[in-house]
Structure 1
Amino acid sequence: MEDLIKKTLGTATLKKTGVGGGGCINEGEAYFTDTGTIFVKRNAKKKAKLLFDGEFASLKALLATRTVRAPEPITVLDNPAGGALLVMEYLDMRRVTRFSRQLAESLARLHLHNAQLGKKGRTSSVDGVDGEEDVAHVREFGFHTTTCCGYLPLDNTWNSDWA
């Protein structure tokens, strides 16, 4: 796994920081690299790539709004040991409580973002989000790729209503 990450990132250095952990679905570990610290989430299940592809796209979509800080996703890899890996920027979350108000304000801006774009008349089709382009107002509910709630894939087909 570590050789694959080093090769993919083009880094000679990949050293565990000692920061990591896990839950009932994924495990993760922070690593020092030649260009900074990354966080690698891993999941050994057969459909882990589907889960991480959805998370990758979701992080890109969040970042594209420029309303809330989220880790920059780098890549999704098939884990040679089974399952998949999600490699992303490492964010130090140890002292975030002092930023609670700022986080709440950012989340409020995120939830208002699409409505504000609609008021500005910035409309487009619903063909997905590219983090390098401006985000346009979306008139439908859905997402351009499958995401998961835990291990369960969600049907994100575009619809005119929430139901």
Structure 2
Amino acid sequence: MLIAQLTELDPAVQNVLPIGTTLLSIKKHGLSLWASTFKVETMGPECKPANYFLKCSLGERGRLMMEGEFEGSKAIHAVSPNFCPRPVAAGKLSFEDAYFYICEFIEMTEESPPFDSWTFCSKLAHLHKNGKSPTGMYGFHVTTCNGWIPQLNTWEQSWATFFRKGFIYLLDMAYKNNYIYPRPQGMDEHLDVFLNVVIPRLLLPLETGGNSIEPSLVHGDLWFGNAATTAEGNKPMIFDGAVFYAHNEYELGNWRPPRNKFTKAHIRDYQMHFQRSPPEEEFDDRNRLYSMRFNLHAAILFPDTQKYRQ
């Protein structure tokens, strides 16, 4: 059976639903470049309708994506249960080398940013302020994925160290697999300056000289395609995260590229709820730095798109 053609619930999925759940229909729903996605309509115990969103993918890449999304969604939902669909489970399907993630189904509107920026940013700031790292460090307890890209989530005490190691990891992936080609002339010299001068210069002041920051739970891939409003109640929701504990301002790096449809107005609204980290005057430089990692993600995910490589 091909996961793109599911017509019945796999036993592994059926087993994570409430006992007595009966399938009414399963149909393709939404769009994902890295997985097959479905709306699952069921009749639950006591004859109550219950709908779910099911995502399936193949291989080790699929396992990492499904497990990471489940664990990340659990973390978000635990802090902000009205800001993320309730995760149900992740696991291996009974056929092929296939894996799944399932959560509650919430009907969304087609609206994308700019939606109610003030409410959205209020909820996001609440997540960042209250999503505390269980270790007090930066990272996450499992691998999470940005698109299909597995992130380096190894725990680190220092945000500057965590960000630098993560950037090196992505660069190695990009060049070893020719996701960025050809390798620009003089790149090694520029990278040495970037990794060993620019990153420490912009991030170490957050943690030294009397300044300090705490790890915040971030969505990690917050572009307009991973945020929406509910059809009922018009409430903001986020989903499909690449979750880990980071400097909260990292989240806003993905709002800098115009392609992602968040604007400076969204950043201003966010900062009304969560002030800039000191040194405040270097916020824009940090935002530009963080946006470079998201641009690197895009270059790896879409290697044939020249504007991302540039």
TM (normalized to structure 1)? 0.73
1:151 lines up with 2:148 in the alignment: yes
1:34 lines up with 2:43 in the alignment: yes
Identical aligned residues as a percent? 26
The answer to whether the 8 A contact 1:63-1:69 is kept is yes
Residue 107 of structure 1 corresponds to which residue in structure 2? 124
What's the C-alpha RMSD, in Å, of the aligned pairs?
Answer: 2.5
Residue 73 of structure 2 corresponds to which residue in structure 1? 59
Structure 2: 5+ residue runs without aligned partners? 1-5, 45-49, 162-310
Change in Cα spacing, 1:100 to 1:30, as seen in structure 2 (3 Å) is farther
Residue 101 of structure 2 corresponds to which residue in structure 1? 86
Distance (Å, rounded) in 2 between the aligned partners of 1:142 and 1:46? 21
Distance (Å, rounded) in 1 between the aligned partners of 2:77 and 2:111? 19
Change in Cα spacing, 1:91 to 1:37, as seen in structure 2 (3 Å) is same
Matched residues, number = 142
Offset, 1:109: 1.5
- The 4+ residue runs of structure 1 with deviation greater than 3 A are 95-101
Candidates 25, 34, 42, aligned match of 1:15 = 25
Offset, 1:91: 1.4
Q: Which amino acid aligns with 1:90?
A: F
SS in 2 for 1:48: helix
Answer with 1 or 2: which has the greater Rg.
2
Distance (Å, rounded) in 2 between the aligned partners of 1:25 and 1:12? 28
The answer to whether the 8 A contact 1:47-1:83 is kept is no
Change in Cα spacing, 1:44 to 1:14, as seen in structure 2 (3 Å) is farther
Q: Which amino acid aligns with 2:125?
A: A
Residue 6 of structure 1 corresponds to which residue in structure 2? 14
Normalized per residue, which structure has more helix? 2
Residue 24 of structure 1 corresponds to which residue in structure 2? 33
Distance (Å, rounded) in 2 between the aligned partners of 1:107 and 1:113? 10
SS in 2 for 1:101: helix
Structure 1: 5+ residue runs without aligned partners? 118-123, 127-138
Q: Per-residue displacement from partner, 1:52-102 (whole Å, max 9, x unpaired)? A: 111111111111113751011111121224321101111111266665432
The answer to whether the 8 A contact 1:67-1:106 is kept is no
TM (normalized to structure 2)? 0.41
Q: Which amino acid aligns with 1:6?
A: Q
Residue 195 of structure 2 corresponds to which residue in structure 1? none
Change in Cα spacing, 1:99 to 1:155, as seen in structure 2 (3 Å) is same
